[in-house]
Amino acid sequence: MIITPRILVRITLIVVIGVLLQVTFFSQVELFHISPDILPALVVILGLLGGSLTGAVAGFSVGFLLDCLIFAPLGPSSLVLISVGYGSGVYRERFDLGNRWVAPLLCMAMTLAAELLFAVLQLMLGVDTPVSGLLAWDLIIKSIFAFFLGFPMYVGIRRILRPALVDEQPKPRRRRRRPRPQTLEI
């Protein structure tokens, strides 16, 4: 990804709008009693489009902003989302993204991984309340939501960041040779 100030502004806007949409909309709607979590998918997509460094920085920023807005202890969300962003960036740098199912499948897998990692972090931090079996259902359904939301999100964000994507740069045009003007020798 070619990061210019203009692209940086676009990425910042994507992060801010994504977090605001999550806390004000997606967290307040339910399907099968579960609210979708788009933030791991958002970080995965930024990692896939921008590489490991962009993914990690986006993950940190998303986690930090989220924790600030919900008044949670700062850090756990950032740690989890840094891993998610860096991991998906490394995937992009090593493997081919030719298949269109890669992005939604990676969103699903990384959402599951993020939720599990977050649970482990919370238990390590000393949450001593019993954990309900319903949490497993929550993780699975959230991952499935991430699969279905991953594809349109990938297409939309790719379109917004198109000017910065190396793969999307127009190939240099070959100059056509102009036919030499034929002059008549007199």
Partner 1 sequence: MYRKEVRRRRAVLALLVIGSFVFLTATFGEGSGPVQSGVSTIFSPLENGASRALKPVQDLVNWVDETFDARGENERLKSELEDARANDAAGKAAIQENVQLSGLVGLPKAGTIPTGYEPMTGRVIARSPTAWYSTVTIDVGSGDGAAVDDPVVNGDGLVGHIGAVTSSTSQVILLTDPSSQVSGKVVPVGTQGIVSSEVGNTQQLKLDFIDSSERIGKGATVVTAGWSTGEIASRYPPDIPIGKVTRASIVDQEASQQVQLRPFADMRSLEFLQVLTGGGAG
Of 77 and 157, which has the nearer Cβ to partner 1?
Answer: 77
Q: Report whether 9 contacts 120 (CB < 8 A).
A: no
> Which listed range, 2-10, 120-128, 157-165, 174-182, lies at the site for partner 1 (CB under 8 A)?
120-128
To partner 1, the closest distance from the beta carbon of 42 in angstroms equals 12
Of 56 and 157, which has the nearer Cβ to partner 1?
Answer: 56
To partner 1, the closest distance from the beta carbon of 58 in angstroms equals 10
d(CA 130, CA 137): 16
To partner 1, the closest distance from the beta carbon of 9 in angstroms equals 16
Of 122 and 169, which has the nearer Cβ to partner 1?
Answer: 122
Q: What is the DSSP letter of 186?
A: -
Of 112 and 181, which has the nearer Cβ to partner 1?
Answer: 112
d(CA 57, CA 11): 11
Helix or strand run (H / E) with residue 100: none
Q: Report whether 85 contacts 18 (CB < 8 A).
A: no
Contacts (CB under 8 A) with partner 1, residues 28-87:
28-33, 35, 37, 39, 52-53, 56-57, 59-60, 63-76, 78-79, 82, 86
Query: Which residue carries 């100030």 as its tokens?
Result: 5
Q: What are phi and psi of 31, to 5 degrees?
A: -130, 130
Q: Report whether 45 contacts 21 (CB < 8 A).
A: no
DSSP lists the bridge partners of residue 7 as: none
Number of residues that bind partner 1 (CB under 8 A): 55
d(CA 123, CA 69): 22
Contacts (CB under 8 A) with partner 1, residues 134-153:
134-135, 138
Residues that bind partner 1 (CB under 8 A): 20-33, 35, 37, 39, 52-53, 56-57, 59-60, 63-76, 78-79, 82, 86, 115, 118-119, 122, 125, 127, 129-135, 138
